[in-house]
Amino acid sequence: MHFTYLNPTNPATFKDRYVTKVAETIVPFSKERKGEVGLIGLPSSKSSISLSMAANAPSTIRKALNSFSTYAATQKHDFKNEGIVDFGDVPIHPTSVIETLDRLHISIQEMLQTDACDRYIMLGGDHGISFPSIHAFQKKYGTIGVIQWDAHHDVRNLEDGGRTNGTPFRSLLEEGIIKGEHLVQVGIRNYSNAQAYDQYAHDKGIHVYMMEDIEEHGILPIIDKELERLSNEVDFLYLSVDMDSVDQAHAPGCPAIGPGGFTSRELLSSIKKAAQHPKTKAMDIVEIDPSQDVRDMTSRLAAHVMMKFMYKV
């Protein structure tokens, strides 16, 4: 039977024949499918030291991609033919954080073994997902340089709570997966870290840029400087974007919101700069709690972060 207007199982959405939404370019992974960018959801937030529903962020960010078109007027280029290969979401263990981290690590390794894409985006989840993710990329591609947008060092001790969203970079350093001098932290804020962790970052040789450094020198010159340095020392680059690096006015949906962070424009311009480097291979986006967001502002900003990473001319 033919229905005039009834459209079972499909949403009643408007479609403009001339507009392609970013979400329309996402296709599920298959062995025959190749694409420019691979996408995987890592919906883990049980390791968060504050109450968080960041596990819901991958689906919310994907949904936000329905709000934006593939056409970039500045470049006079439509990216509608730039395919995004979606590997889906990794099922987390209902109770065990350690088992969840193992699942994330194995899943990213298996994704990379397909060689289906040139670059990859990991959607968290809390920042704890960066430990298994970066480890998997290091195994595949060699010496890794990391640029971390964050208000926090995320080098908390492992004795007080095990592996949490506050420990990923301490875990990576202690396991010898990355070197301190190959980790760059931008946007670290006052009153967001303990003195012991500031000292730990200094002792490990991490290149730390406080918000005061951003205010004095600007974010783009700092990114330029560190890209040039890292490119001579590492095999590839990984971007780790904690959305709480952004001022609470621009990203209200973070578990650890605070004033004095990046503007959305500063974040996007710096991501674009880092993503354009030929050695940049991967990016994760973490610490969005959709239940705390306002009109999906933070997820929409994350969608734009994805687009800055994906779309290069």
Annotated binding residue 242: yes
pLDDT band at residue 4 using 50, 70 and 90 as cut-offs: confident
pLDDT higher than 90, residue 31: no
pLDDT higher than 70, residue 1: no
Report how far Cα 39 is from the mean position of its chain's Cα atoms: 11
Residues 6+ apart with CB under 8 A from 258: 151, 189, 192, 244, 247, 248
How high is the mean pLDDT of the chain? Answer: 96
Tokens of 72: 């970039």
Annotated binding residue 2: no
Residues 6+ apart with CB under 8 A from 178: 134, 138, 144, 146, 169, 172
| Contacts made by residues 71-75, CB under 8 angstroms, sequence distance 24+ | 71/19, 71/20, 72/311, 72/313, 75/313
Cβ distance 187 to 237 under 8 Å?
Answer: no
Annotated binding residue 224: no
Helices (H), 175-282: 195-203, 211-217, 219-231, 264-275
Query: DSSP letters along 30-90, please?
Result: -TT--EEEEEEEE---TT-SS---GGGHHHHHHHHGGGSBSEETTTTEE-TT--EEEEEEP
Backbone phi, psi, residue 300, to 5°: -65, -40
pLDDT of residue 313: 66
Annotated binding residue 202: no
- Element of type H or E holding 281: strand 280-286
Q: Write the pLDDT tens digit of every residue in 186-219.
A: 999 999 999 999 999 999 999 999 999 999 999 9
Annotated binding residue 244: yes
Task: State which CATH number among 3.40.718.10, 3.40.50.880, 3.40.800.10, 3.40.50.300 fits the domain covering 22-310.
Answer: 3.40.800.10
Q: How far apart are CA 18 and CA 15, in angstroms?
A: 9
Q: How far apart are CA 84 and CA 256, in angstroms?
A: 30
Annotated binding residue 152: yes
Residues 6+ apart with CB under 8 A from 296: 60, 63, 64, 253, 290
Domain extents for the chain? 22-310
Q: Quick count: other Cβ atoms within 10 Å of Cβ 294?
A: 9
Q: How far apart are CA 293 and CA 299, in angstroms?
A: 8
pLDDT of residue 8: 80
pLDDT of residue 158: 93
pLDDT of residue 9: 81
Cβ distance 72 to 79 under 8 Å?
Answer: yes
Mean pLDDT on 68-83: 95
Residues 6+ apart with CB under 8 A from 177: 134, 135, 138, 144
Q: How far apart are CA 59 and CA 44, in angstroms?
A: 12
Cis, peptide link before residue 125, omega less than 30° from 0? yes
Q: Write the pLDDT tens digit of every residue in 100-144.
A: 999 999 999 999 999 999 999 999 999 999 999 999 999 999 999
